[in-house]
Amino acid sequence: MSGIVKWCVAAASILALFGVDAGPAAAQAAPKRGGTAIVGVSVAGATLNTQLTSAVTPLIIADLWASGLYKYDKTGAKKPQIASSWDISEDGKVYTFHLRPNLKWSDGHPFSSEDVAFTLKSFGQYNTYLVKVLPNIDRVETPDANTFVVRLKEPQSAALEGFDKEVFPLMPKHVYDGTDIPTNPANRAPVGMGPYKFVKWEEGRGITFTRNEHYWDQPRPYLDSVVAVFIPNVQQQQNALYRGEIDVLRPALPQVGRAIEQAKAKHAFDVREIKVNAAERLSLDINITRDMLAKPLVRQALLVAIDRERISKDVYQGLAFPAMNAIPEQFTMLTDPSVDYNKQFAFDPVRAGKMLDEAGFALKDGKRFSLDLTAAVNADAFYAEPAAQLIAANWRAIGIEVKLSLLEGQLWTNKVFKERNFDVSMVSLTARTDPLFGVDRSFLCNTSNVPYVNPTGYCNPELDAIAAKAAAVPTPERRQWYKQYEEIVARDMPHLTLTNARKFFAISSRFGGIDEELDLAFNGNPSMSNVWVK
C-alpha cells in the first residue's frame, strides 16, 4: 500500500515538474522595483562567511550578499559574475580573470583586483576546498585594478572550479586586512558584492537584507529587501510555505511530495528541480582493517546484498536513484558509465551469499560474521535511520549479524573519524563542484583523524596518482582518468556509494523572473536578484 502511495507521489512529482514552466505571457511581463521576499532557512551558526563554513544555511544566505568571479548556470556551465571573462594559458598553468571595472562593495568602498588577491591569500588556508588547491599555487598577480592572475606550479584543470561563487565568495580587503580573520565580526555582518546588503541579524529569528545600491548587475535587484527567517523544524518550514509566510524554501526531501501536491492545489508557489545539483550521495565507509572486512570480495558482496532501488523509493520517496559508480552522474563531462554498479553489483542476495562463501565466510549455524553499522541521526538526516534499518535487514537476510549504532552527530564523528572504532559507517556526502573537492576525500590515503575524510584505512598510491592526474589534465582528457579511478574503486570497494539524491526549490508564484532566478546548478541558491513582484 505505502509503496503504491509513494509511487504515485513520485509520478505526480515528475508530472508536476514538467507542468510548471511559466507561460510566454508571464515571461514577457516587465520587471518592476519594490517588495520584499522572505526566504525560509534552518538555523545559522557561528558564521555567515562561506569561506569558513560549508553548512547549508550560510550557503543559502550567501547568495544574497556575496558574489564570486563566476557562478554556474542550470546546465553546470560557468556564467560570468564579477569576472566578465577569463583565459587559461596554453600550458594550463596561468588563469587570467578580467574583472568588471568601477565596482563597489556593499558599503560603498571601491573594489579592485587587490581584493580578489587578498581573498585568496588570506582566506585560502581557512577554506576547506581551497586548501586542496593552495599548495599548487605559485603566486597571484594583480597587473592592474581589473586583472587578477593565478599562476599554478603544475597544470590542474580542476583548480579553476575552486574560484566560483560558492567556494570563493569575494572578501573585502578593507574590512579584513590586519584582523583575526576567523573571528572578525564581519563574518556575522558581511560586506560583499551580492545583490543585497546585510542590515541586521536577530538571533533565533532571522536576518534582514536590503537592496545593495552598488550591485554590479544593474538594474537588479528588483526587490527592496529580503529576509531570511530561521525555521529549524522541516515540517514547520513546509507549513510556513503553504500559509505564504515564506516565499522561498529548499524543502527537505521528505517534504517535497507534499509540497508538490500543495502547489497543485493552491497555485501559490512552484516546486522546481535543480537538474544539475551537487551530488548528495548516501555512502558506506568500510573499515578494511577489520578481519572480516579485509577482502575486497566481502565488501563487494555487501554492496550486492543491498537493495538500493528500495532505499531510493522508500527512504527518499523516489527522489533519489541508485548511484552508478564512484564519480557522480552530475559530472557529465567526467563520469564514465562503463563502470555501472547497477549492472556489476545489482541487488542479488543469492549472489552476495555465494560471494561470501567464496571469501571464506560460509554460513555456520545460520550466521557468517557480525558487524556494527553506525550512522549519525541528526534532525536534518531524515534518511539515516530508515536507510540503516533497510541495509541491516538486507545484510541479516544473507546471514550477517548486524548491530546498529545510531548516534548523535558529534558522537558519531568521534567514533568513526577520531577513534576509528567502527566496522561500517553510513554517511551522506556532497560532491560539490568537482571530484577534487567532494569525492577524493572518500578514497585517497588518509592518516589524519580529520572528520569527513576517508576513515576506512584504505590507502592505494596507484589510485592517489590517478586522482592527481585526473584533476590535472585538460578537461576533455579527464574522463579517461576517472574511468580508471572508477575501476579501481569498484575492484577494491573501500567505500560503497549507494544512492544519489535530487534537489528542489519551492518559490512563490507572486514573483516574475523565476526561470532566470533558478538558472543555477550544484550548490547554487536563489540570489533573489532576478525576481520581481508581479
Partner 1 sequence: MVRHIAGHAAQALLLLVGVVIAIFCLLQLIPGDPVQAMVGDMPVPPALRAALEQRFHLNEPFLDRLFGYLSNVVHGDLGYSMNYRRPVIDILAERFPRTLLLAGAGYGFGILIGIAIGIHSAVTPHRSVDRGWSGLVLIGYAMPTFWVGQLLVIVFSIQLGWLPTQGMGPMISRAEGVDWLLERATYLVLPVATYTILETTRVARFMRASVAETLEQGYIVTARQKGLSRHEIIRGHVVRNSILPVITVMGYSFGTAMGGAVLLETVFSYPGVGSLMVEAVRARDTQVIVGVVILIACSVVVMNIVVDLLYAWLDPRIRVAAAPR
Which residues contact partner 1 by CB under 8 A?
36, 38, 43, 45-47, 52-56, 125-129, 131, 180-183, 185, 188, 202-206, 208, 225, 227, 229-233, 235-236, 239-240, 242-243, 245, 378, 409-411, 413-415, 418, 429-430, 441, 450-453
Q: How far is the CB of 106 from partner 1 (least distance, A)?
A: 20
**DSSP-derived secondary structure letter, 506:** E
Residue 76, all three cell numbers: 553546470
Q: Give phi and psi for 280, each to the nearest 5.
A: -120, 100
Measured distance CA(525)–CA(368) in Å, rounded:
47
Nearer to partner 1, 379 or 465 (CB): 379
Nearer to partner 1, 112 or 442 (CB): 442
Q: How far is the CB of 279 from partner 1 (least distance, A)?
A: 13
Q: How far is the CB of 45 from partner 1 (least distance, A)?
A: 6
Q: How far is the CB of 450 from partner 1 (least distance, A)?
A: 5
Helix axes 475-492, 296-304, angle to 10 degrees: 100
CA atoms within 13 A on the CB side of 154: 12
Nearer to partner 1, 110 or 182 (CB): 182
Residue 306, all three cell numbers: 543491498
Residue 219: cis peptide before it, omega within 30 degrees of 0: yes
Nearer to partner 1, 204 or 219 (CB): 204
Q: How far is the CB of 176 from partner 1 (least distance, A)?
A: 13
Q: How far is the CB of 43 from partner 1 (least distance, A)?
A: 6
Nearer to partner 1, 415 or 483 (CB): 415
**DSSP-derived secondary structure letter, 363:** -
Q: How far is the CB of 164 from partner 1 (least distance, A)?
A: 16
Nearer to partner 1, 450 or 465 (CB): 450
C-beta separation of 278 from 434 below 8 A: no
Nearer to partner 1, 211 or 483 (CB): 211
Nearer to partner 1, 17 or 134 (CB): 134
Q: How far is CA 252 from CA 40, 316, 383, 505, in A?
A: 12, 10, 11, 9
C-beta separation of 206 from 227 below 8 A: yes
State the residue for C-alpha cell 571530484. 435
C-alpha dihedral over 448, 449, 450, 453, to 10 degrees?
A: 80
Nearer to partner 1, 154 or 202 (CB): 202
**DSSP-derived secondary structure letter, 223:** S
Q: How far is CA 402 from CA 255, 323, 440, in A?
A: 30, 24, 28
State the residue for C-alpha cell 576533455. 476
Strand 369-376, strand 248-249: pairing: unpaired
Q: How far is the CB of 42 from partner 1 (least distance, A)?
A: 10
Q: How far is CA 27 from CA 30, 40, 267, 429, in A?
A: 8, 25, 17, 37
Q: How far is the CB of 378 from partner 1 (least distance, A)?
A: 8
Measured distance CA(258)–CA(143) in Å, rounded:
54
Measured distance CA(503)–CA(316) in Å, rounded:
11
Q: Give phi and psi for 501, each to the nearest 5.
A: -95, 155
Q: How far is the CB of 459 from partner 1 (least distance, A)?
A: 17
Instruction: Write a three-state SS string for 62-87.
Output: HHHHCCCCEEECCCCCEEECCEEEEE
C-alpha dihedral over 240, 509, 507, 513, to 10 degrees?
A: -150
Nearer to partner 1, 285 or 307 (CB): 285
Nearer to partner 1, 180 or 291 (CB): 180
Q: How far is the CB of 55 from partner 1 (least distance, A)?
A: 4
